[in-house]
Structure 1
Amino acid sequence: MRQKKDAAVTPQERKGGATHAKRVPGKVDGVKGSGYSKGQAKREEILIGLIAALNRGELRNPSLKAIGQALGVEPAHILYYFKSREELLQAVIVRWDRDALGQLPDGSPKIMDIDEYEAIIARNVVRPGVVHLYLAFAAEAVEPSHPAHDFIRERFDKARTALAAAIRQEQDLGTISAAIDPAIEARLLIALADGLQLQSLIDPDIDAAAHLKSAIVQLRESKFGECVNRPRFPGV
């Protein structure tokens, strides 16, 4: 019996499920290829688009539907790249921190001086959409069951650690009284900054950065006057 030159094509091969399927050039078994890169690129596109819309003031603590409308993307398509609205908003805050709050790429806080913190708040004031998102999202995350509860808590801890380190640095230099507790003062500065940013959203005439700078000046002046654990904040 004459042998056929070409073997019959199995149903599995027709469906692309053959054991010895044709290899894709440049693709290594067990390693995510171009599909993964395209997915990451689309995720980045959604993230950058949302941040831009927030910076333009087009969105304020938006729903998934509102985000989709602003980006021209179906909500279901967004959920293909982000597990939930909360994960997307958390990614926005992570990127904002990395760009504005001086975090290192691994998420750890870098030691920054206190004046830099005041400059960061000044920068935030011209991005009310992102500030509104952060404050509203942090308020939502108060509930322990909220998906971002631990994230927001850790974020506060990182900011406090970074500011406390900056205060200790100035204590070593003699510009801030050694009697002041760096951890307490760091929490006070964070609370003041967040509260002032909230007030500035309600009343744009409030200069959050200027009031924060006043508190920083008084913190340093405590070295030369009566040392108190909590600075006074005039004009707030």
Structure 2
Amino acid sequence: MPSPTMDSAQHDDVATRLQIVDAMIRVLHELPLHEVTPARVADEATMSVESMTVSFPSWDGLLLASIDRWNDQRTTPLMPIAADFGTIRFLRAIVMKNIEDPSLMRFLTATLNIAAAPKHPLAPMLHSRWRRFHGFVQQSLVQDIAAGREPHTMEPARGAEQLLATYEGLQLQSMVRPEMDLLESFDRAVTRLREGWSRAYVPPVWDLTRAS
């Protein structure tokens, strides 16, 4: 049985890690990822870089812990929306949260460059998180079909792929074209998308002898 001293030490370690991660999140509210430094995070956490490194020996570990904590804080409270009102309403709620505070969206987008580097040690872990989110959306669409919220002509795997491409693509556009109305663009795009879902998919036949 663990000793009280060991339990106290483990609790202190968890508390210190949370202190550092929360400091990282506060800094990311102010700065883009490429401007964030260990010294800036340590200063925000009111500790030395050396002390911070004891809890997070690698910068990649701190990045991943920050993604998990920040993403969970935003997304977990919204999960019941998917079951009660459907996948699109769930993603729309996330879009609204991102409009209120775009810093998490900016951070996640910055990590795409890491995820796209096959040899980066953090890439597989980032891939697993994107795949897990895709899996949740796909399963949620399965439930939408069962509940009659979406048509049986929509294949959930393809629907999830299209819906996430719309959701993520529009958010990326909003960061480089901040004048766009992200919520209105999302509503318009998913309305058009659902119109397509209501019909059986017929693969296109391309005439390569014509330009269009």
Q: Give 1:222 deviation, angstroms.
A: 3.7
The match for 1:23 is none
Structure 1 regions of 5+ residues with no counterpart? 1-26, 231-236
| Alignment pair present for 1:45 and 2:45 | no
The match for 1:204 is 178
Q: Distance in 1 between matches of 2:173 and 2:202?
A: 24
Q: Give 1:162 deviation, angstroms.
A: 1.1
| Greater Cα radius of gyration, structure 1 or 2 | 1
TM-score (norm. length: structure 2): 0.78
Give the match's secondary structure for 2:172.
helix
**Of 73, 84, 98, the match for 1:124:** 98
Higher alpha-carbon deviation: 152-161 or 75-84: 75-84
Q: Which runs of 4 or more aligned residues in structure 1 lie more than 6 Å from their structure 2 counterparts after TM superposition?
A: none
Q: Give 1:174 deviation, angstroms.
A: 3.0
TM-score (norm. length: structure 1): 0.71
The match for 2:3 is 28
**Aligned-CA RMSD value:** 2.8
Which amino acid counterpart does residue 130 of structure 1 have in structure 2?
L
Q: Distance in 1 between matches of 2:53 and 2:77?
A: 27
Q: Distance in 2 between matches of 1:153 and 1:43?
A: 23
The match for 2:207 is none
Structure 2 regions of 5+ residues with no counterpart? 204-212
The match for 2:129 is 155
Give the match's secondary structure for 1:32.
helix
Go from structure 1 to structure 2 and tell me whether the alpha carbon gap of 1:210 and 1:166 turns closer, same or farther (over 3 Å shift): farther
8 Å CA contact 1:160, 1:187 repeated in 2: yes
For each residue in 1:49-81, what CA deviation from the matched residue of structure 2 results, as whole angstroms up to 9, or x when unmatched? 2223323xx121123234334444433222111
**Of 47, 53, 59, the match for 2:31:** 59
Aligned length: 196
8 Å CA contact 1:51, 1:92 repeated in 2: yes
The match for 1:138 is 112
Go from structure 1 to structure 2 and tell me whether the alpha carbon gap of 1:119 and 1:111 turns closer, same or farther (over 3 Å shift): closer
8 Å CA contact 1:101, 1:117 repeated in 2: no
Q: Distance in 1 between matches of 2:17 and 2:55?
A: 6
| Alignment pair present for 1:185 and 2:159 | yes
Q: Distance in 2 between matches of 1:197 and 1:73?
A: 35
Go from structure 1 to structure 2 and tell me whether the alpha carbon gap of 1:103 and 1:120 turns closer, same or farther (over 3 Å shift): same
Identity of matched residues, %: 24
The match for 2:49 is 75
Q: Which has the higher helix share?
A: 2
Go from structure 1 to structure 2 and tell me whether the alpha carbon gap of 1:191 and 1:77 turns closer, same or farther (over 3 Å shift): farther
Q: Give 1:229 deviation, angstroms.
A: 7.8
8 Å CA contact 2:39, 2:49 repeated in 1: yes
